[in-house]
Amino acid sequence: MSQSFLPPTRLLMGPGPSNVPKRVLEAMARPTIGHLDPVFVAFMDELKGLLQWVFRSDNTLTLPVSGPGTAGMEACFVNLLEPGDKIVVCRNGAFGQRMVEMSERIGAEVIVVDQDWGRAVDREAVARTLAEHPDARVLAFVHAETSTGAVSDAAALAALAIEHDCLSIMDCVTSLGGMTLEVDDWGVDAAYSGTQKCLSCPPGLSPVTLSERAAEKIRARNYPVQSWFMDFSLVMNYWGGGGKRAYHHTAPVNALYGLHEALLILKEEGLESAWRRHAETHQQLKRMLEGLGIEFVVPEGERLPQLNAVRIPAGIDDAEGRRYLLEEHGIEVGAGLGPLAGKIWRIGLMGETCRPESVTRLEQGLRGLLG
Ligand code: PLP
Protein backbone atom coordinates (compact mmCIF):
# COMPACT_ATOMS: atom_id res chain seq x y z
CA MET A 1 0.00 0.00 0.00
CA SER A 2 1.30 3.49 -0.84
CA GLN A 3 2.09 5.79 2.04
CA SER A 4 1.53 9.50 2.49
CA PHE A 5 4.41 11.63 1.30
CA LEU A 6 6.26 13.22 4.21
CA PRO A 7 8.78 15.73 2.87
CA PRO A 8 11.83 16.69 4.94
CA THR A 9 12.10 20.17 6.42
CA ARG A 10 14.75 22.13 4.54
CA LEU A 11 16.24 25.56 4.89
CA LEU A 12 15.37 26.89 1.44
CA MET A 13 18.24 29.21 0.49
CA GLY A 14 17.94 28.83 -3.26
CA PRO A 15 16.22 30.98 -5.89
CA GLY A 16 12.75 29.96 -4.61
CA PRO A 17 10.65 28.55 -3.20
CA SER A 18 11.56 30.12 0.12
CA ASN A 19 10.46 28.71 3.46
CA VAL A 20 6.76 29.01 4.16
CA PRO A 21 5.58 30.06 7.65
CA LYS A 22 3.40 27.54 9.49
CA ARG A 23 0.64 30.15 9.62
CA VAL A 24 0.41 30.11 5.82
CA LEU A 25 0.38 26.31 5.63
CA GLU A 26 -2.32 26.21 8.31
CA ALA A 27 -4.41 28.74 6.41
CA MET A 28 -4.19 26.51 3.33
CA ALA A 29 -5.47 23.55 5.35
CA ARG A 30 -8.79 25.30 6.12
CA PRO A 31 -12.00 23.91 4.58
CA THR A 32 -12.36 24.27 0.86
CA ILE A 33 -15.49 26.24 -0.04
CA GLY A 34 -17.03 27.03 -3.40
CA HIS A 35 -15.21 29.69 -5.37
CA LEU A 36 -18.54 31.48 -5.99
CA ASP A 37 -19.67 31.18 -2.36
CA PRO A 38 -20.60 34.69 -1.11
CA VAL A 39 -18.10 34.30 1.74
CA PHE A 40 -15.34 33.53 -0.74
CA VAL A 41 -16.33 36.42 -2.97
CA ALA A 42 -15.93 38.83 -0.03
CA PHE A 43 -12.57 37.23 0.75
CA MET A 44 -11.46 37.84 -2.86
CA ASP A 45 -12.14 41.56 -2.49
CA GLU A 46 -9.96 41.61 0.59
CA LEU A 47 -7.20 39.66 -1.14
CA LYS A 48 -7.30 42.06 -4.06
CA GLY A 49 -6.88 44.97 -1.63
CA LEU A 50 -3.85 43.28 -0.09
CA LEU A 51 -2.33 42.75 -3.55
CA GLN A 52 -2.86 46.43 -4.40
CA TRP A 53 -1.18 47.26 -1.11
CA VAL A 54 1.91 45.12 -1.78
CA PHE A 55 2.22 46.39 -5.37
CA ARG A 56 1.72 49.98 -4.12
CA SER A 57 -0.97 50.46 -6.71
CA ASP A 58 -4.59 51.51 -7.03
CA ASN A 59 -4.98 49.50 -10.26
CA THR A 60 -8.45 47.97 -10.54
CA LEU A 61 -7.01 45.22 -12.71
CA THR A 62 -5.07 43.50 -9.91
CA LEU A 63 -5.45 39.77 -9.40
CA PRO A 64 -3.64 36.55 -8.66
CA VAL A 65 -3.30 34.58 -11.90
CA SER A 66 -3.86 30.85 -11.27
CA GLY A 67 -0.44 29.50 -12.12
CA PRO A 68 3.23 30.09 -11.31
CA GLY A 69 5.20 33.25 -12.16
CA THR A 70 5.55 32.12 -15.76
CA ALA A 71 1.75 32.09 -16.09
CA GLY A 72 1.52 35.72 -14.94
CA MET A 73 4.37 36.56 -17.30
CA GLU A 74 2.69 34.89 -20.25
CA ALA A 75 -0.64 36.51 -19.34
CA CYS A 76 0.94 39.99 -19.50
CA PHE A 77 2.64 39.30 -22.81
CA VAL A 78 -0.34 37.70 -24.58
CA ASN A 79 -2.68 40.48 -23.44
CA LEU A 80 -0.46 43.46 -24.22
CA LEU A 81 1.14 42.25 -27.45
CA GLU A 82 -0.48 41.47 -30.77
CA PRO A 83 1.09 39.88 -33.83
CA GLY A 84 3.22 42.51 -35.58
CA ASP A 85 3.57 44.80 -32.52
CA LYS A 86 7.10 45.94 -31.87
CA ILE A 87 8.51 45.25 -28.40
CA VAL A 88 11.87 46.18 -26.86
CA VAL A 89 13.03 43.50 -24.43
CA CYS A 90 15.92 44.00 -22.00
CA ARG A 91 17.85 40.74 -21.71
CA ASN A 92 20.43 40.36 -18.93
CA GLY A 93 19.61 36.82 -17.86
CA ALA A 94 17.40 33.77 -18.25
CA PHE A 95 14.10 35.55 -17.55
CA GLY A 96 14.75 38.31 -20.10
CA GLN A 97 15.41 35.47 -22.55
CA ARG A 98 12.04 33.92 -21.61
CA MET A 99 10.39 37.28 -22.40
CA VAL A 100 12.03 37.25 -25.84
CA GLU A 101 10.77 33.72 -26.56
CA MET A 102 7.22 34.53 -25.46
CA SER A 103 7.14 37.69 -27.59
CA GLU A 104 8.39 35.76 -30.62
CA ARG A 105 5.70 33.11 -30.19
CA ILE A 106 3.05 35.85 -30.18
CA GLY A 107 4.41 37.01 -33.54
CA ALA A 108 5.68 40.33 -32.26
CA GLU A 109 8.69 42.08 -33.76
CA VAL A 110 11.28 41.76 -31.01
CA ILE A 111 14.15 44.21 -30.50
CA VAL A 112 16.56 42.95 -27.85
CA VAL A 113 18.80 45.14 -25.69
CA ASP A 114 21.45 42.74 -24.48
CA GLN A 115 23.52 43.16 -21.37
CA ASP A 116 26.11 40.83 -19.84
CA TRP A 117 24.65 38.28 -17.45
CA GLY A 118 25.40 39.50 -13.94
CA ARG A 119 24.97 43.19 -14.75
CA ALA A 120 22.04 45.62 -14.47
CA VAL A 121 20.22 46.63 -17.65
CA ASP A 122 21.97 49.64 -19.20
CA ARG A 123 19.49 52.53 -19.15
CA GLU A 124 21.35 54.48 -21.83
CA ALA A 125 21.32 51.52 -24.23
CA VAL A 126 17.57 51.17 -23.70
CA ALA A 127 17.05 54.92 -24.28
CA ARG A 128 19.02 54.73 -27.56
CA THR A 129 17.08 51.68 -28.72
CA LEU A 130 13.71 53.29 -27.96
CA ALA A 131 14.80 56.41 -29.85
CA GLU A 132 15.79 54.24 -32.85
CA HIS A 133 12.43 52.45 -32.76
CA PRO A 134 9.74 55.10 -32.24
CA ASP A 135 7.11 52.57 -33.34
CA ALA A 136 7.85 50.26 -30.37
CA ARG A 137 4.66 49.63 -28.39
CA VAL A 138 6.02 47.84 -25.31
CA LEU A 139 9.19 47.87 -23.18
CA ALA A 140 9.78 44.77 -21.05
CA PHE A 141 12.37 44.28 -18.35
CA VAL A 142 13.14 42.14 -15.31
CA HIS A 143 13.48 44.13 -12.09
CA ALA A 144 15.29 41.39 -10.15
CA GLU A 145 17.09 38.86 -12.41
CA THR A 146 17.03 35.71 -10.33
CA SER A 147 19.31 33.89 -12.75
CA THR A 148 22.20 36.27 -12.01
CA GLY A 149 21.38 38.23 -8.85
CA ALA A 150 21.38 41.62 -10.59
CA VAL A 151 18.87 44.40 -9.93
CA SER A 152 17.96 46.92 -12.61
CA ASP A 153 16.69 50.46 -12.15
CA ALA A 154 13.01 49.71 -12.72
CA ALA A 155 11.92 53.29 -11.99
CA ALA A 156 14.23 54.65 -14.70
CA LEU A 157 13.19 52.00 -17.23
CA ALA A 158 9.48 52.59 -16.60
CA ALA A 159 10.10 56.34 -17.02
CA LEU A 160 11.76 55.66 -20.39
CA ALA A 161 8.71 53.69 -21.49
CA ILE A 162 6.45 56.65 -20.62
CA GLU A 163 8.79 59.08 -22.41
CA HIS A 164 8.67 56.94 -25.57
CA ASP A 165 4.94 56.26 -25.39
CA CYS A 166 5.36 52.54 -24.74
CA LEU A 167 3.61 50.32 -22.26
CA SER A 168 5.99 48.80 -19.73
CA ILE A 169 5.96 45.19 -18.54
CA MET A 170 7.96 44.61 -15.37
CA ASP A 171 8.92 41.17 -14.03
CA CYS A 172 8.91 41.52 -10.25
CA VAL A 173 8.78 37.82 -9.41
CA THR A 174 11.78 38.06 -7.09
CA SER A 175 11.53 41.71 -6.06
CA LEU A 176 7.95 41.95 -4.72
CA GLY A 177 8.06 42.14 -0.92
CA GLY A 178 11.88 42.05 -0.80
CA MET A 179 12.91 45.49 -2.01
CA THR A 180 11.54 48.91 -2.91
CA LEU A 181 8.84 48.54 -5.53
CA GLU A 182 6.32 51.23 -6.46
CA VAL A 183 4.06 50.28 -9.34
CA ASP A 184 2.03 53.52 -9.42
CA ASP A 185 4.82 55.95 -8.54
CA TRP A 186 7.06 54.46 -11.22
CA GLY A 187 4.23 54.38 -13.77
CA VAL A 188 4.61 50.68 -14.56
CA ASP A 189 1.80 49.40 -16.80
CA ALA A 190 1.97 45.67 -16.15
CA ALA A 191 3.75 43.89 -13.31
CA TYR A 192 3.70 40.20 -12.50
CA SER A 193 5.17 38.32 -9.57
CA GLY A 194 5.19 34.91 -7.91
CA THR A 195 4.17 33.75 -4.48
CA GLN A 196 7.18 31.55 -3.71
CA LYS A 197 9.90 34.18 -3.32
CA CYS A 198 9.71 37.13 -0.94
CA LEU A 199 6.01 36.56 -0.17
CA SER A 200 6.93 33.15 1.32
CA CYS A 201 3.93 31.30 0.07
CA PRO A 202 4.00 27.97 -1.77
CA PRO A 203 4.50 28.27 -5.55
CA GLY A 204 1.53 28.27 -7.88
CA LEU A 205 0.02 31.76 -7.99
CA SER A 206 1.14 34.85 -9.85
CA PRO A 207 0.00 38.26 -8.57
CA VAL A 208 -0.49 40.62 -11.51
CA THR A 209 -1.43 44.28 -11.76
CA LEU A 210 -2.27 46.32 -14.87
CA SER A 211 -2.67 50.07 -15.27
CA GLU A 212 -5.62 51.77 -16.95
CA ARG A 213 -3.36 52.37 -20.00
CA ALA A 214 -2.75 48.63 -20.20
CA ALA A 215 -6.47 47.91 -19.80
CA GLU A 216 -7.19 50.34 -22.66
CA LYS A 217 -4.74 48.51 -24.89
CA ILE A 218 -6.52 45.23 -24.12
CA ARG A 219 -9.91 46.78 -24.92
CA ALA A 220 -8.57 48.19 -28.19
CA ARG A 221 -6.98 44.97 -29.47
CA ASN A 222 -7.45 44.05 -33.13
CA TYR A 223 -7.24 40.31 -32.44
CA PRO A 224 -8.62 38.36 -29.48
CA VAL A 225 -5.98 37.19 -27.00
CA GLN A 226 -4.68 33.86 -28.34
CA SER A 227 -4.98 32.19 -24.92
CA TRP A 228 -8.56 31.83 -23.72
CA PHE A 229 -7.43 31.01 -20.17
CA MET A 230 -5.21 34.08 -19.89
CA ASP A 231 -7.46 36.61 -21.61
CA PHE A 232 -7.76 39.32 -18.96
CA SER A 233 -10.98 40.64 -20.42
CA LEU A 234 -12.57 37.27 -19.49
CA VAL A 235 -10.76 36.72 -16.18
CA MET A 236 -11.87 40.14 -15.02
CA ASN A 237 -15.51 39.03 -15.08
CA TYR A 238 -14.51 36.87 -12.13
CA TRP A 239 -12.00 39.15 -10.38
CA GLY A 240 -13.52 42.46 -11.46
CA GLY A 241 -15.45 43.24 -8.29
CA GLY A 242 -18.53 45.39 -8.15
CA GLY A 243 -20.52 42.40 -6.90
CA LYS A 244 -20.52 40.76 -10.36
CA ARG A 245 -18.72 37.40 -10.36
CA ALA A 246 -19.07 35.12 -13.35
CA TYR A 247 -17.49 31.69 -13.61
CA HIS A 248 -14.26 31.72 -15.60
CA HIS A 249 -12.22 28.84 -14.16
CA THR A 250 -12.32 27.16 -10.78
CA ALA A 251 -10.14 29.33 -8.55
CA PRO A 252 -7.45 27.52 -6.50
CA VAL A 253 -9.34 28.28 -3.31
CA ASN A 254 -6.90 26.94 -0.70
CA ALA A 255 -3.86 28.39 -2.45
CA LEU A 256 -5.58 31.78 -2.26
CA TYR A 257 -6.10 31.35 1.50
CA GLY A 258 -2.34 30.89 1.73
CA LEU A 259 -1.56 34.02 -0.27
CA HIS A 260 -3.99 36.03 1.84
CA GLU A 261 -2.31 34.86 5.05
CA ALA A 262 1.18 35.53 3.68
CA LEU A 263 0.17 39.07 2.78
CA LEU A 264 -1.33 39.57 6.25
CA ILE A 265 2.00 38.50 7.79
CA LEU A 266 3.82 40.97 5.56
CA LYS A 267 1.36 43.71 6.48
CA GLU A 268 1.87 43.06 10.18
CA GLU A 269 5.62 43.47 9.69
CA GLY A 270 5.21 46.48 7.38
CA LEU A 271 6.45 46.60 3.81
CA GLU A 272 9.31 49.00 4.43
CA SER A 273 10.42 46.93 7.44
CA ALA A 274 10.50 43.82 5.24
CA TRP A 275 12.54 45.66 2.59
CA ARG A 276 14.95 46.77 5.37
CA ARG A 277 15.21 43.24 6.76
CA HIS A 278 16.22 41.96 3.32
CA ALA A 279 18.85 44.70 2.91
CA GLU A 280 20.31 44.13 6.41
CA THR A 281 20.40 40.34 6.20
CA HIS A 282 22.12 40.62 2.83
CA GLN A 283 24.85 42.70 4.50
CA GLN A 284 25.26 39.99 7.14
CA LEU A 285 25.51 37.32 4.43
CA LYS A 286 28.01 39.43 2.50
CA ARG A 287 30.28 39.75 5.55
CA MET A 288 30.02 36.01 6.18
CA LEU A 289 30.83 35.06 2.58
CA GLU A 290 33.70 37.54 2.34
CA GLY A 291 35.10 36.06 5.58
CA LEU A 292 35.19 32.69 3.83
CA GLY A 293 36.79 34.13 0.69
CA ILE A 294 33.68 33.53 -1.44
CA GLU A 295 33.20 36.07 -4.23
CA PHE A 296 30.06 37.70 -5.59
CA VAL A 297 29.31 37.60 -9.33
CA VAL A 298 27.51 40.95 -9.51
CA PRO A 299 29.37 44.22 -8.82
CA GLU A 300 28.40 46.00 -5.62
CA GLY A 301 25.58 48.48 -6.23
CA GLU A 302 23.88 46.15 -8.75
CA ARG A 303 23.31 43.28 -6.30
CA LEU A 304 19.97 41.95 -5.20
CA PRO A 305 19.74 41.54 -1.44
CA GLN A 306 17.45 38.52 -1.74
CA LEU A 307 19.39 36.56 -4.37
CA ASN A 308 23.14 36.35 -4.04
CA ALA A 309 25.06 34.84 -6.94
CA VAL A 310 28.53 33.70 -5.85
CA ARG A 311 31.40 31.90 -7.56
CA ILE A 312 31.64 28.24 -6.54
CA PRO A 313 34.64 28.09 -4.16
CA ALA A 314 37.83 26.79 -5.79
CA GLY A 315 38.27 23.03 -5.52
CA ILE A 316 34.57 22.39 -4.80
CA ASP A 317 32.51 20.39 -7.25
CA ASP A 318 29.19 22.09 -8.07
CA ALA A 319 26.77 19.16 -7.66
CA GLU A 320 28.73 17.51 -4.86
CA GLY A 321 28.93 20.76 -2.85
CA ARG A 322 25.20 21.37 -3.12
CA ARG A 323 24.48 17.73 -2.26
CA TYR A 324 26.62 18.06 0.87
CA LEU A 325 24.80 21.20 2.02
CA LEU A 326 21.43 19.57 1.37
CA GLU A 327 22.06 16.16 2.87
CA GLU A 328 24.40 17.04 5.73
CA HIS A 329 22.95 20.42 6.69
CA GLY A 330 19.42 20.41 5.24
CA ILE A 331 20.17 23.57 3.26
CA GLU A 332 19.17 24.08 -0.36
CA VAL A 333 21.19 26.51 -2.47
CA GLY A 334 20.57 27.04 -6.18
CA ALA A 335 22.70 26.05 -9.15
CA GLY A 336 23.69 28.43 -11.94
CA LEU A 337 21.58 28.69 -15.09
CA GLY A 338 22.60 28.98 -18.77
CA PRO A 339 26.12 30.33 -19.24
CA LEU A 340 26.58 30.46 -15.45
CA ALA A 341 25.77 26.76 -14.91
CA GLY A 342 28.61 25.00 -13.09
CA LYS A 343 30.24 28.34 -12.26
CA ILE A 344 28.00 29.91 -9.65
CA TRP A 345 25.64 29.17 -6.79
CA ARG A 346 22.58 31.22 -6.06
CA ILE A 347 21.95 31.88 -2.40
CA GLY A 348 18.47 33.11 -1.65
CA LEU A 349 17.47 35.20 1.35
CA MET A 350 13.83 35.57 0.51
CA GLY A 351 10.87 36.28 2.76
CA GLU A 352 10.70 33.91 5.71
CA THR A 353 14.18 32.54 4.91
CA CYS A 354 15.67 36.01 5.23
CA ARG A 355 16.71 35.80 8.89
CA PRO A 356 20.06 36.07 10.69
CA GLU A 357 19.71 32.38 11.74
CA SER A 358 19.72 31.32 8.07
CA VAL A 359 23.06 33.05 7.53
CA THR A 360 24.48 31.40 10.65
CA ARG A 361 23.34 27.95 9.52
CA LEU A 362 24.73 28.45 6.04
CA GLU A 363 28.05 29.55 7.52
CA GLN A 364 28.24 26.28 9.46
CA GLY A 365 27.47 24.33 6.28
CA LEU A 366 30.01 26.21 4.19
CA ARG A 367 32.70 25.83 6.88
CA GLY A 368 32.03 22.08 6.89
CA LEU A 369 32.28 22.01 3.11
CA LEU A 370 35.46 24.06 2.88
CA GLY A 371 37.06 22.01 5.65
N1 PLP B 1 10.79 35.61 -13.53
C2 PLP B 1 11.74 35.55 -12.59
C3 PLP B 1 12.63 36.73 -12.37
C4 PLP B 1 11.90 34.39 -11.84
O5 PLP B 1 12.84 34.31 -10.90
C6 PLP B 1 11.05 33.29 -12.06
C7 PLP B 1 11.22 32.03 -11.29
O8 PLP B 1 12.25 31.77 -10.72
C9 PLP B 1 10.07 33.41 -13.05
C10 PLP B 1 9.96 34.58 -13.75
C11 PLP B 1 9.16 32.28 -13.33
O12 PLP B 1 8.40 31.95 -12.22
P13 PLP B 1 7.86 30.45 -11.99
O14 PLP B 1 9.05 29.57 -11.87
O15 PLP B 1 7.05 30.56 -10.74
O16 PLP B 1 7.03 30.11 -13.18
Mutation to probe ligand 1, out of 91, 92, 95, 193 (largest number of atoms < 8 A from CB): 95
Instruction: Give the closest residue to 183 by CA, choosing from 279, 303, 58, 274.
Output: 58
The predicted structure's pLDDT at residue 243: 56
Q: What is the DSSP letter of 7?
A: P
Counting residues of the chain whose pLDDT is more than 90, the rounded percentage is 94
For the residues 11-29, what does the mean pLDDT come to? 98
Phi, psi of 107, deg, nearest 5:
90, 20
* Residue 99 exposure: Cα atoms within 13 Å on the Cβ side: 32
The predicted structure's pLDDT at residue 237: 77
Considering only CA atoms, which residue is closest to atom 14 of ligand 1? 69
The predicted structure's pLDDT at residue 246: 81
β-bridge partners, 332 = 12
Residues with CB under 6 A from ligand 1: 15-16, 68-70, 73, 95, 142, 146, 171, 173-174, 194, 203
Residues 6+ apart with CB under 8 A from 22: none
Considering only CA atoms, which residue is closest to atom 2 of ligand 1? 173
pLDDT in tens, 160-218: 999 999 999 999 999 999 999 999 999 999 999 999 999 999 999 999 999 999 999 99
Mutation to probe ligand 1, out of 173, 201, 208 (largest number of atoms < 8 A from CB): 173
* pLDDT at 240 exceeding the cut of 70: no
The predicted structure's pLDDT at residue 242: 54
* pLDDT at 57 exceeding the cut of 90: yes
Rounded distance, CA 58 to CA 183, Å? 9
Q: pLDDT band for position 63 (50/70/90)?
A: very high
Whether the pTM exceeds 0.80: the reply is yes
Mutation to probe ligand 1, out of 18, 100, 146, 175 (largest number of atoms < 8 A from CB): 146
Which conformational region is residue 204 in: left (phi greater than 0), alpha (psi within -120 to 50 degrees), or beta?
Answer: left
The predicted structure's pLDDT at residue 370: 96
The predicted structure's pLDDT at residue 321: 98
Residues 6+ apart with CB under 8 A from 286: 296, 308
pLDDT in tens, 108-142: 999 999 999 999 999 999 999 999 999 999 999 99
pLDDT in tens, 206-224: 999 999 999 999 999 999 9
Report CA(174)–ligand 1 centroid distance (Å). 7
* pLDDT at 241 exceeding the cut of 70: no
For the residues 75-84, what does the mean pLDDT come to? 98
Q: Is the ipTM of this complex over 0.90?
A: yes
Mean pLDDT, the chain, integer: 96
Rounded distance, CA 344 to CA 138, Å? 32
The predicted structure's pLDDT at residue 236: 78
Q: pLDDT band for position 352 (50/70/90)?
A: very high
Residue 143 alpha carbon, nearest atom of ligand 1: 3
Report CA(211)–ligand 1 centroid distance (Å). 22
For the residues 239-254, what does the mean pLDDT come to? 80
The predicted structure's pLDDT at residue 239: 78
For the residues 296-317, what does the mean pLDDT come to? 97
